[in-house]
Structure 1
Amino acid sequence: MIKSLVNNVVYGKKAFQPLFEKLHFISLYGMNIGSPTDVKTSGELFAISLILEKFQEEEFVIVFDVGANQGEFTKAVLSGLKKIKRKLKIFAFEPQKEAYTNFKENIKSSNVAVYNYGFSDTKGKKTFFQNNEISTLSSLYTTDALYEPKFDKERLEIELTTIDDFVEKKQISKIHYLKIDVEGHEFSILQGAKHALQNNKIEIIQFEFGNVNAIAKVFMKDFFDLLGDRYDIYRLLKDGIQKISKYDGKIEIYQTTIYLAIDKKLVI
């Protein structure tokens, strides 16, 4: 009786749309979808604690910081993993020259190697769009449609390689934690790591999914198709992770959200 009344009087009715829109926003924020994504508030500090929990017995622990900008994530890793600092190695990658220079000034550690190029699915050069030289919103995709007019006021050519090529050259047998924050190019980077993925060389992958993925024409389904056989996928929360048991079209939400793909062999 009550359910029927609500269906007839409330659901889908114009008068209640402002309420439902507000509830929708609250629900997304409550699920950490579209929430602030700096390291201290995004849940990344919890993700870093997983590295310590799962890999502290390893002989070496390798972390990739792809889209390192000025080093906020790398700095948090160094701070959070002090207990295993002696066997920790962080490889950081930042194609923006000014951000790369600032990274080197901000972080001086024998545990860190930083490179002034990015990753993709193939090697080569591409046009990079930025609104300033250290912007965290710079991208390989023009984002004028998403942000204020002429947001992409600067263009530069950047060097790109693949994770597979880098891993082979550096003879890296295992990446324990791969963090990717590259404004819409995450999926292409993972396509350039197919050999590493197929040979179980990557344990945990942190990637973003947000509005720039709409410009890149990438869906969450693409990540599930690429990773679903070997990884469980979780949404990162401020104090934990929430498993996404299976793909559903309802998760195609283009609001910046951090996900973890965790090797199914790891016990979480």
Structure 2
Amino acid sequence: MSTSTASLRPAARPVKALLARAIDGTVKQRRLGAFALYTVARRIVRAFENHDVDMTTNGERWLQGRLAARGPVDAMDVGANRGEWVEGLLAHRTARRVVCYEPVPATFRALAARTNDPRAILVEAALSASPGSLRLNAVLDNPSISSVYDIACYQDGHPIEPIEVPATTGDREMARLGLSHLTILKIDAEGHDLAVASGFAGALGRGAIDLVQFEVNQFTLAAHQSLRAFFQLFGEAYLVCRLLPRGLEACGYHPMLDSFSQSNWVAVRRAYLDAAAVRDLGLRAAGGEPGRALARALAGNRLATLLGLEQGAPA
């Protein structure tokens, strides 16, 4: 018997079995209404996994506000694009300094035209796992999906201009700028997010970054990476959470999370989390298999108590 079936209350098991038979009899057999059921199910999954790129509704603006309410914010915005994310953060008086990286020349010019706040430092370069240069596929009619990787995995038919751009690492940049601590590192690098985060290995290792926001999507697959690789990079020092519209959902790794659908994730430094931070960030434990994996990972840890995991993960 599977873990999920075993965890059901006895009265719920016959209902689940009946529902499974009804769905299988329609969907598997491709009977009338099968595709409609599939479409509804996909829409439910998209909502549950928060497949949303709108910063005003997917939780990004909410998270900026919560961090700003907690005190001064020092940030890096890697893949700043035209400045939407930094604009949202700079709307808060407690935003102290934001360093923005955008390697595509035309997009950087748009960023510079939009962002004239003295608290913002704009850098026309890419960040990666090691210094040097990167070959980028600049998308002329949709710069937001410019990527080191083949954009055909996301959307075909766009005019592409291959360009070489300078690259450095986050650790080098923090040293160059005299930054000893970041409240949040935001990464939106269209599949290169793991490489960017790896370039901050020193800062992550010494606990110099409180939160790391990153994306997982089709470009992650094109990069031959996975969400599991992020869990491995952040290790036991960070709690990996799905960003929700008004909260963070802490997860333990389970293969079901690696769907490569559009999603934003936030790794939170465990030492940063106390009862107030858990409340302020709307932090909760995931249900199902990711929740059970989290409960196992946090067994005996103070965070298990803060997240209410003493009796196991939520159903």
3-state DSSP of counterpart to 2:144: coil
CA contact (8 A) 1:94 1:116 kept: yes
Equivalent residue runs for 1:56-67 within 5 Å: 56=71, 61-67=73-79
Equivalent position of 1:139 in the other structure: 147
Tell me which of 112, 122, 128 is aligned to 1:120: 128
Distance 1:4 1:257 in 2: 31
CA contact (8 A) 2:82 2:110 kept: yes
Tell me which of 89, 97, 100 is aligned to 1:89: 97
- CA gap of 1:170–1:25, structure 2 versus 1, over 3 A, is same
TM-score normalised according to structure 2 size: 0.77
Equivalent position of 1:255 in the other structure: 261
Equivalent position of 2:23 in the other structure: 10
Distance 1:74 1:9 in 2: 49
- CA gap of 1:199–1:3, structure 2 versus 1, over 3 A, is closer
- CA gap of 1:90–1:26, structure 2 versus 1, over 3 A, is same
Kindly, what percent of the aligned residue pairs are identical?
22
Q: Provide the alpha-carbon RMSD of the alignment.
A: 1.9
Tell me which of 74, 86, 91 is aligned to 2:86: 74
The higher-RCO structure (CA 8 Å, 6+ apart) is 1
One-letter amino acid of the counterpart of residue 102, structure 1: A
Equivalent residue runs for 1:1-268 within 5 Å: 2-11=15-24, 13-14=28-29, 15=31, 17-35=34-52, 37-54=53-70, 56=71, 61-79=73-91, 81-82=92-93, 84-85=94-95, 88-132=96-140, 135-149=143-157, 151=158, 153-244=160-251, 246-265=252-271, 266-267=273-274, 268=278
Number of equivalences: 257
How far the C-alpha of 1:133 sits from its partner, in A, is 7.0
CA contact (8 A) 1:96 1:133 kept: no
- CA gap of 1:105–1:146, structure 2 versus 1, over 3 A, is closer
Distance 1:65 1:178 in 2: 6
Distance 2:160 2:56 in 1: 29
TM-score normalised according to structure 1 size: 0.89
Distance 2:156 2:126 in 1: 26
Distance 2:87 2:154 in 1: 30
In structure 1, the gaps of 5 or more residues are none
Distance 2:154 2:142 in 1: 19
Distance 1:249 1:78 in 2: 37
One-letter amino acid of the counterpart of residue 35, structure 2: P
In structure 2, the gaps of 5 or more residues are 1-13, 279-315
Higher helix share: 2
CA contact (8 A) 1:98 1:133 kept: no
Larger Cα Rg: Structure 1 or Structure 2?
2
How far the C-alpha of 1:163 sits from its partner, in A, is 0.3
